[in-house]
Amino acid sequence: MEVGRVISISERLQELLKNAEKEADDIVSRASEQAQRMVSEAKVEAEKKTRLARLGQGIDEYLREEEEKVRKEAEEILKEFRNHSEASKRMAEERLQQAVELIVNEVVTG
């Protein structure tokens, strides 16, 4: 083989090697970018799910607190209703008693 031809083949092999290395670097770079993008998207999704989970817990806690408030308000309203009912009942009994006394007085003095 000629020296020139060996040099030419050597140069072409070096060129092919450079191209292969460049292509490999490009593939690694694209793969790295894609992996970073996937990790970033996964982080965003995880943060979203974490926020939703916290929000869900917050909503559950808020609902429990509100239910407790409503229950206490309902108990107070019921207590007030019972008090008013008892007062009305006593007042009705007093008026009935007064009416009976008035009728008895009318009949006796009449």
**Pick from 29-33, 72-76, 83-87, 100-104: least confident:** 100-104
| Four-point Cα dihedral 84, 90, 93, 99, nearest 10 | -90
Binned at pLDDT 50, 70 and 90, residue 14 comes out as confident
In angstroms, rounded to a whole number, what is the distance separating the alpha carbons of residues 49 and 12? 54
Judge if pTM exceeds 0.85. Answer: no
